[in-house]
Amino acid sequence: MPGTKTGGGSRTLLKALRRVLAEPGDGQARLDKVVRLVAGQLVAEVCSIYLKRDRSRLELCATEGLHPDAVHRVSLKIGHGLVGRIAQRAEPIATSNAQEAPGFQYIPETREEAYRSFAGVPIQRLGEVLGVLVIQNRVAREYTEDEIDGLEIVAMVIAEMTEAGMFTNGEEFQPIPQVRTQPVEMVGIAASEGLAEGPAHLHEPRVMVFNPIAENVESERARLHEAMTALRGDIDDLVRSDEIAATGEHRDVLEAYRMFAYDKGWLRRLEEAIESGLSAEVAVEKVQSAARSRMERIADPYLRERLHDLDDLANRLLRHLLGAAGGAPEIQAGAILIARNIGPGELMDHAGQIAGIVLEEGSLSSHAAIVARALSIPMVVQCQRVTRETNPGDKVVVDGAIGAVSLRPGGDVLDAFHQKVVVARQAAEIYKGLRDKPALTLDGTMIALHMNAGILSDLPSLEGSGAGGVGLYRTELQFMLRASLPGRTEQARTYARVLDAANGRPVIFRTLDIGSDKLLSYMKRVEEPNPALGWRAIRLGLDRPLLFKMQLQALIRGAGTRPLSLMFPMVTEADEFRRARALLDEALEGMKARGREVPSTVRVGAMLETPALAYASDAFFAQTDFISVGGNDLMQFFFAADRENERVRQRYDVLNLSFLRLLRDIAIRCDRLDVPLSFCGEAAGRPLEAVALAAVGYRSLSMRAASIGPVKRLLREVDLNEVRDLLAGAEADDQTSLRPRLLDWSRERGLHSDRYTR
């Protein structure tokens, strides 16, 4: 809109567009009128609309200025040419010299060689690109930000009209339907354990908007404020509900979610979109699409999680604007929820109705995963293409223990799944019977089994699982799930509740392990080329002594006069441990000086997660009260394989003989120096790996609560001397891994080792 600001200029264009769309005519006639209008209003010699024909191809569906014979005859692959790049990246491209721009592709049929300047924007709805809107000029022209913004506003209207079917003409523009009929087996990441079976419910909270252009800006603004008030009331009610426990980090999740609903910046952006001439509904979608386009290019998992909360809130707001209830759409009881992602609020809406959840995105530390675990709903995340492969109502089976999902399973798969359900029930009864029995091997070796935890809702599993205590309590989750730093008193209250819930059983608190993929929204982000090897864990704590000391003081206060055990994460050299312990001693002395209660005993350990610490001096090991091997990170650094990278993560095995030698050397050293040693990590919770760890000298293992029963059952069936003989034989034969021989041995003896073998 040359010479105008976005608000007034875009409103003028949208009013004209509304008149054009109200005129009689079929889908093609509407498209032709739109390109003529946009070209005239923006003083462009060319305006073209490309719409998606299928997942990989765009088709020229209307043009003003290019050769008319090219319409419906020219198509572009996503990613090819400037138009294809816009569709692929969901970002505008503007240039005064198109032929020299990266990615330019000449299409002879369009006869566009005469046009030098190019500006294009994605036609998208809620992050899904439906097409591309383009303008071109013969002379070199620098398109302004206002003009690009105006194009994006028009593209939003086109997206709504496309979704509503206003540009269809029979079957002319409709993508070829691809209803899936074949069984599909998929593997994601297990986020919440359990088995589930039910019909698929595709979580598509998108709503149809038939009036995308505002007739009266003031009335649209009033509608927005009315809907926002109703939305905030919904969220307030949700936070006050008693469907889950009133305390714990999942409650903090909902409080942070409520803060988004009251965010003034979000409301301001919505009002600006309405001011441009859009209806309130389309304004919500415009802001939502813009946020998704930005956030999907951000690697930071915490920031990406905020996007999912915003999606959830925007969908609720849309339903209020359309007069529908703010609650979730109707869902069949016992359904499996299939989604790209989901916010904690909408998951709570479905509590008690769904049997399982499968997400295309998500993470183990996402808000939805935390709430799912609190509600004991089986959940699999990062299940690629699941939303595209699923039809509404499809039969779905979910194995939340190993991250397996079956769509439209055949009879054999269903029979196997049902058998697994039966076996799981039988095994649960066996594990229940083993709950109070020791993990004592046939050769008389006692293995202590502890559980890992990170939120208060994990603690009820302590009693039922038979765990001897909490071998790892991840304190950082309390910090990650809040919008602001929890104060000393609040932290102390949480730690006290953890010890209360443990009811006398030992709990080992790990001090803040933030950095890498665990970031705090209220802490300034430090850009690092390799965060896993960067400023994190104890390094960050020592560089921020006030933050670190505040947590140490809170741990002391939370323990009261009870024993306190804590450990420092990712210690790499002895001096880091000494400095951290000095801060702890300073905090203890300060509490005593003020007449405060202090723990009856304080045990301080180090997490051995780097190969460097394995070769520290005997003097260092003797200074610690215990050593806990953090298997996940140690394995990552030992093999130089990023555990978040699926391309390399599965290449390396905890039963690799080189890694087992390292673990054995650590165990021998700790035994010689009489330093208690434990192993915590995913491997500890897999029965076969747990047996190998016990064989090389580990007498304490910490794992997920659900793994304790299977691990205890196998340990009680084995003689560790036989496992050591297998290890010696594999080493003598220069094998790479102990796994093949250990598997063959366990199967020959009929041992219960198949669950979580890798």
pLDDT digits (tens, 9 = 90+) for 255-264: 666 777 787 8
**How far is it, in rounded angstroms, from Cα 387 to Cα 384?**
8
Identify the weakest region by mean pLDDT among 269-278, 529-538, 585-594, 667-676. Answer: 529-538
pLDDT at 432 over 70: yes
Structure-token match 């005593």, residue found: 592
CA neighbor of 628 nearest in space, from 555, 698, 532: 698
Residues with Cβ within 8 Å of residue 434, at least 6 apart in sequence: 466, 709, 712, 713, 716
Predicted confidence at residue 689, as pLDDT, reads 96
CA angle, 559 then 562 then 568, to 5°: 55
Strands 507-510 and 564-571 turn out to be parallel
**How far is it, in rounded angstroms, from Cα 20 to Cα 572?**
69
**How far is it, in rounded angstroms, from Cα 445 to Cα 699?**
8
Enumerate the domain spans of the chain: 6-163, 184-417, 435-748
Q: What is the mean pLDDT of residues 434-439?
A: 92
Identify the weakest region by mean pLDDT among 26-30, 211-215, 533-537, 632-636. Answer: 211-215
Predicted confidence at residue 374, as pLDDT, reads 64
pLDDT at 529 over 70: no
Predicted confidence at residue 758, as pLDDT, reads 41
Helix (H) or strand (E) holding 636: helix 631-639
What do you get for the CA distance between the two ends of the chain, in Å? 60
Q: What is the mean pLDDT of residues 494-513?
A: 93
Indicate the average pLDDT of the chain: 83
Instruction: Identify the sign of the CA torsion 206, 209, 212, 214.
Output: negative
Per-residue DSSP letters for 719-750?
-HHHHHHHHHHHHHTT-SBSHHHHHHHHHHTT
Predicted confidence at residue 405, as pLDDT, reads 95
288: pLDDT confidence band, cut at 50, 70 and 90? confident
Helix (H) or strand (E) holding 287: helix 280-295
Burial of 343 (0-12, 13-18, 19+ CB in 10 A): buried
**Do residues 199 and 394 make contact, with C-beta atoms less than 8 angstroms apart?**
yes
Q: In 17-56, where do the E strands start and end? A: 46-54
**What phi and psi, each to the nearest 5 degrees, are found at residue 396?**
-135, 135
Helix (H) or strand (E) holding 335: strand 335-339
Identify the weakest region by mean pLDDT among 32-41, 99-108, 590-599. Answer: 99-108
Predicted confidence at residue 5, as pLDDT, reads 45
Q: Which of residues 450 and 310 earns the better pLDDT score?
A: 450
CA neighbor of 357 nearest in space, from 369, 367, 345: 369
Residue 390 gets the label, from left (phi > 0), alpha (psi -120 to 50) or beta, of beta
Predicted confidence at residue 280, as pLDDT, reads 86
pLDDT at 18 over 80: no
**How far is it, in rounded angstroms, from Cα 605 to Cα 105?**
62
Identify the weakest region by mean pLDDT among 43-52, 314-323, 558-567, 713-722. Answer: 314-323
Predicted confidence at residue 112, as pLDDT, reads 80
How big, in percent rounded to 5, are the helix, strand and coil portions of the chain?
45, 20, 35
**How far is it, in rounded angstroms, from Cα 703 to Cα 712?**
12
Strands 117-125 and 93-95 turn out to be antiparallel
> Half-sphere exposure (CA, 13 Å, Cβ side) for 128?
16
**Do residues 359 and 368 make contact, with C-beta atoms less than 8 angstroms apart?**
yes
pLDDT at 221 over 50: yes
580: pLDDT confidence band, cut at 50, 70 and 90? very high
| Common-topology check for domains 6-163 and 184-417 | no
Predicted confidence at residue 170, as pLDDT, reads 46
CA neighbor of 570 nearest in space, from 663, 634, 509, 478: 634
Identify the weakest region by mean pLDDT among 100-104, 208-212, 335-339, 424-428. Answer: 208-212
pLDDT at 561 over 90: yes
525: pLDDT confidence band, cut at 50, 70 and 90? low
**Do residues 220 and 214 make contact, with C-beta atoms less than 8 angstroms apart?**
yes
- Helix, coil or strand: residue 58: strand
Predicted confidence at residue 347, as pLDDT, reads 78
pLDDT single digits (tens) 60-81: 999 999 998 999 989 889 988 9
**How far is it, in rounded angstroms, from Cα 346 to Cα 205?**
10
Predicted confidence at residue 65, as pLDDT, reads 92
Identify the weakest region by mean pLDDT among 179-193, 609-623, 711-725. Answer: 179-193
292: pLDDT confidence band, cut at 50, 70 and 90? low
**How far is it, in rounded angstroms, from Cα 156 to Cα 544?**
46
555: pLDDT confidence band, cut at 50, 70 and 90? very high
Q: Which of residues 489 and 251 earns the better pLDDT score?
A: 489
Q: Which two tokens stand for residue 602?
A: 């304080």
**How far is it, in rounded angstroms, from Cα 538 to Cα 609?**
11
- Helix, coil or strand: residue 612: helix
Q: Which two tokens stand for residue 485?
A: 């730093």
**How far is it, in rounded angstroms, from Cα 356 to Cα 405?**
10
Residues with Cβ within 8 Å of residue 220, at least 6 apart in sequence: 214, 274, 278, 279, 280, 283
194: pLDDT confidence band, cut at 50, 70 and 90? confident
**What phi and psi, each to the nearest 5 degrees, are found at residue 91?**
-135, 145
679: pLDDT confidence band, cut at 50, 70 and 90? very high
Q: What is the mean pLDDT of residues 695-717?
A: 93
Q: Which two tokens stand for residue 157?
A: 């209207």
pLDDT at 416 over 50: yes
pLDDT single digits (tens) 108-134: 888 787 899 999 999 987 667 889 999
The domain defined by 435-748 folds into TIM Barrel (3.20.20)
Distances (CA, A) of 521 to 280, 481, 580, 754: 29, 9, 25, 41
**Do residues 678 and 471 make contact, with C-beta atoms less than 8 angstroms apart?**
yes
Q: Which of residues 9 and 569 earns the better pLDDT score?
A: 569
Give 184-417's CATH code, choosing from 3.10.20.740, 3.50.30.10, 3.40.630.10, 3.65.10.10.
3.50.30.10
Buried b / exposed e along 93-131 (16+ C-beta atoms within 10 A) = bbbbebeeeeeeeebeebebeebbbbbbbbbbbbbbbbb
- Helix, coil or strand: residue 131: strand
Q: What is the mean pLDDT of residues 231-252?
A: 64
- Helix, coil or strand: residue 350: coil
DSSP state of 186: E
**Do residues 380 and 189 make contact, with C-beta atoms less than 8 angstroms apart?**
yes
pLDDT single digits (tens) 449-469: 999 887 776 787 788 888 999
Q: Which two tokens stand for residue 573?
A: 């050299």
pLDDT at 713 over 60: yes
Per-residue DSSP letters for 404-454?
EEEES--HHHHHHHHHHHHHHHHHHHHHHHHTTS-EE-TTS-EEEEEEEES
pLDDT single digits (tens) 467-501: 999 999 988 877 765 656 788 998 999 999 999 99
660: pLDDT confidence band, cut at 50, 70 and 90? very high
Predicted confidence at residue 178, as pLDDT, reads 43
Predicted confidence at residue 173, as pLDDT, reads 46
Percent over 90 (pLDDT), the chain: 41
Q: What's the chain's Rg over C-alpha atoms? A: 30
Find how far residue 253's CA is from the centre of its chain: 14
pLDDT single digits (tens) 585-614: 999 999 999 999 999 999 999 999 999 999
Type of residue numbered 337: L
Q: What number does CATH give the domain 6-163?
A: 3.30.450.40
**What phi and psi, each to the nearest 5 degrees, are found at residue 442?**
-65, -25
Residues annotated catalytic, as ranges: 367, 680
pLDDT at 203 over 90: no
**How far is it, in rounded angstroms, from Cα 591 to Cα 597?**
7
* Cβ neighbours around 661 below 10 Å, total: 13
Identify the weakest region by mean pLDDT among 139-143, 215-219, 539-543. Answer: 215-219
pLDDT at 165 over 80: no
